[in-house]
A and B are shown apart, each in its own frame.
Chain A
């Protein structure tokens, strides 16, 4: 039994009952909003397809693995398994890819190993910056994004370093 399993159903029921009590025509409201969502999907479709296309080429070329092979000696000196680094770098690009690497780390080293805990914290500390940027700005056709990317990547970098240090301090 997980407490978080109750959050979504309670949230939905509360909105429906509250709306009904406030004499909102909840069914009609739902249809209006759902249509809105359908239009949103069409609006974001080009950005999503474009971004998934590009990230797939990049990730499947295994370019990252090639770069990391040069870092192996340094990482070994600090006792950090090589798998964690790709995960840290993939995290801002693709949520599913970093989840896949994390599952792999859990399978090989176990979730309670140092690497397993480090991977858990890496997954939690940030989100898929580049994907979110492309999706959110793409949906409203904003092309000049000011310092959004640099700020997002800066936050990611700090988060990744923080995850390393915190895992060392708490579980090292």
Chain B
């Protein structure tokens, strides 16, 4: 599936650049295109390393388990295929919490760790499990409660009330997440 998107982006972009006479730009994109990814990775690297380090402390001191226990009643309903004490639940909860607070970049390490935990119990390593799909749906929906970046930018552009969009953002994100989860739920039911 990712192959299709990947091909679509590259093919449509390339053909359109050729059609509009931007062949030099296309050459530049292809020859220097890897740099953008490296730049993103170097921006992620320090943060990811720092957070996985700190979260290892939380894991070793059982703090992550404690947190997972706290949110377990809700999460186990969303992830019926996971046993109640599955280690991934703690990371899933941390990921959602970080996303909810608008700390998107802090959420990524937790999300990657959660996927790693889920992959350990996956009988077919190249195929996504039900829990993975549900987690991705929840994650791509972006459960934002405080959109920190947006508020900061509004403040920067002298908004009279930078945080007036919090409530409306929450409503929009709720619509998006609930519909995503329902879609996922319906698909799972249909298969059984």
Contacts and interface: CB of A to CB of B under 8 A. Distances in A.
Nearest to A150: B183
A66 B133 CA distance: 34
A170 B165 CA distance: 10
Nearest to A27: B57
Contact of B49 (A16, A38, A142): A38
B53 A18 contact: no
Given A51-B6, A142-B127, A121 B172 contact: yes
A31 B22 CA distance: 48
A49 B35 CA distance: 8
B10 interface: yes
A95 B119 CA distance: 26
Interface residues of A toward B: which range?
35 or more
B148 A19 contact: no
A151 B101 CA distance: 23
Contact of B9 (A32, A54, A145): A54
A102 interface: yes
A30 interface: yes
B37 A152 contact: no
A36 B56 contact: yes
A6 B59 CA distance: 22
Contacts, number: 341
Given A124-B169, A162-B171, A166-B172, 9 more contacts: A19-B58, A53-B10, A57-B9, A125-B173, A134-B6, A142-B132, A145-B1, A147-B183, A159-B172
Contacts of B156: 106
Interface of A: 4, 7-8, 12, 15-16, 18-19, 22, 24, 26, 29-34, 36-38, 40-41, 44-45, 48-63, 66, 92, 95, 99, 102-103, 106-107, 110-112, 116-117, 120-130, 132-152, 154-156, 158-159, 162-163, 166-167, 170-171
B17 interface: yes
With a 10 A CB-CB cut-off, give which of A19, A50, A140, A166 has the most chain B CB atoms.
Answer: A140
Interface residues of B, number: 103
Given A15-B54, A57-B14, A154-B179, A143 B126 contact: yes
B57 A124 contact: no
Given A19-B61, A148-B132, A159-B175, A124 B144 contact: yes
Contacts of B139: 127, 132, 136
A91 to B, nearest CB: 10
Contacts of B119: 140, 142
B75 interface: no
A133 B57 contact: no
Contacts of B16: 61-63, 66
**B contacts with A: majority SS:** helix
A111 B158 contact: yes
B157 A12 contact: no
Contacts of A59: 13
B48 A40 contact: yes
Contact of B2 (A8, A124, A127, A138): A138
B137 A41 contact: no
Contact of A106 (B37, B99, B153): B153
User: Which 4 residue pairs across A and B have the least CB separation, nearest first?
Assistant: A33-B56, A159-B176, A155-B180, A49-B37
A34 B49 contact: yes
